[in-house]
């Protein structure tokens, strides 16, 4: 019974330790009162920075390329959602949202309507792209998502000539689910993939400008911690308790006390 009590207490303690690490860490809207961006860039270099959890808006014209950028850290699985508000009269249009990492490699969507066609005179079209989980480290030849800056590009493809230049409105929002230790890997990047950060001398790290200045609220983790450590400790504790319990069950009854021969 004592072994069972110790095992139950250990499970409860480790379960409580693991629970906060497995919680959803999707960034919440900023409470500082700062207004959300109301414009978009026209290239990677001029992409408008947006924070996760906040909706950005922009006006443009059919045929334009609209760009935004956002930071994504290890263990996050970003979801990009975009809504395009179309003019009252238009022909059938196909819109597409693409996501690129800090090396400008196009990232595949796990699922979501990345490309959609709006019927003639439809008021709007909604797009979505759920990326793969951001990894702390990857092989040089792989195209796995890595911590750093990500770019969102929204545009219409195959637009009829009659619709080119028509005004449109757009809304973009990025949210992330925290996948946790199930996506953890051994190794980490020396620097996140933020354009310009690796070319700055160390003594100018604080003052030199970079092409993307936003970072996660708690800074770049780059694989320093994940709940993988909690589950590893849990496994070790269970193995130790199993050994103690097995020994207690298999050692048999205690030896009887020796009786003095002259008693």
Q: What is the pLDDT of residues 110-147, one digit of tens each?
A: 999 999 999 999 999 999 999 999 988 878 788 889 99
Residue 95 or residue 252, greater confidence: 95
Residue 256 or residue 56, greater confidence: 56
% residues pLDDT > 70 (the chain): 67
Question: Of the spans 51-55, 193-197, 259-263, which averages the highest pLDDT?
Answer: 51-55
For residue 85, which of 54, 61, 115 has the smallest C-alpha distance? 61
User: What is the DSSP secondary-structure string of 236-255?
Assistant: HHHHHHHHHHHHHHHS-SPP
Q: What is the pLDDT of residues 24-69, one digit of tens each?
A: 334 444 445 568 899 999 999 999 999 999 999 999 999 999 999 9
Q: Are 205 and 53 in contact (CB under 8 A)?
A: no
Q: Are 227 and 181 in contact (CB under 8 A)?
A: yes
Predicted pLDDT at 238: 80
Predicted pLDDT at 158: 85
Q: What is the pLDDT of residues 137-163, one digit of tens each?
A: 878 788 889 999 999 999 999 899 999
Judge residue 113's burial from the number of C-beta atoms within 10 Å of its C-beta, 0-12 exposed, 13-18 middle, 19 or more buried.
middle
Predicted pLDDT at 257: 57
């Amino acid at each position: 019974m004592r072994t069972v009590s110790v095992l139950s207490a250990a499970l409860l303690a480790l379960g409580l330790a693991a629970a906060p690490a497995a919680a959803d860490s999707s960034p919440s809207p900023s409470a500082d009162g700062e207004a959300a961006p109301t414009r978009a860039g026209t290239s990677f270099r001029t992409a408008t920075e947006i924070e996760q959890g906040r909706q950005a808006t922009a006006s443009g014209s059919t045929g334009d390329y609209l760009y935004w950028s956002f930071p994504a850290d290890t263990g996050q699985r970003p979801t990009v959602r975009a809504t395009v508000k179309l003019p009252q009269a238009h022909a059938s249009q196909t819109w597409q949202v693409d996501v690129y990492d800090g090396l400008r490699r196009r990232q595949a969507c796990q699922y979501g309507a990345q490309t959609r066609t709006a019927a003639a005179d439809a008021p709007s079209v909604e797009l979505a792209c759920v990326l793969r989980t951001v990894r702390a480290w990857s092989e040089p030849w792989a195209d796995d998502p890595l911590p750093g800056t990500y770019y969102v590009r929204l545009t219409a493809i195959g637009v009829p000539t009659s619709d080119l230049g028509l005004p449109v409105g757009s809304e973009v929002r990025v949210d992330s689910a925290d996948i946790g230790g199930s996506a953890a890997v051994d190794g980490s990047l020396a620097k996140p993939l933020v354009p310009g950060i690796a070319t700055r001398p160390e003594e100018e790290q604080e003052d030199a400008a970079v092409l993307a200045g936003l970072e996660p609220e708690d800074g770049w983790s780059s694989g320093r911690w994940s709940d993988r450590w909690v589950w590893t400790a849990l496994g070790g504790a269970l193995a130790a308790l199993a050994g103690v319990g097995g020994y207690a069950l298999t050692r048999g009854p205690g030896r009887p006390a020796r009786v003095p021969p002259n008693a």
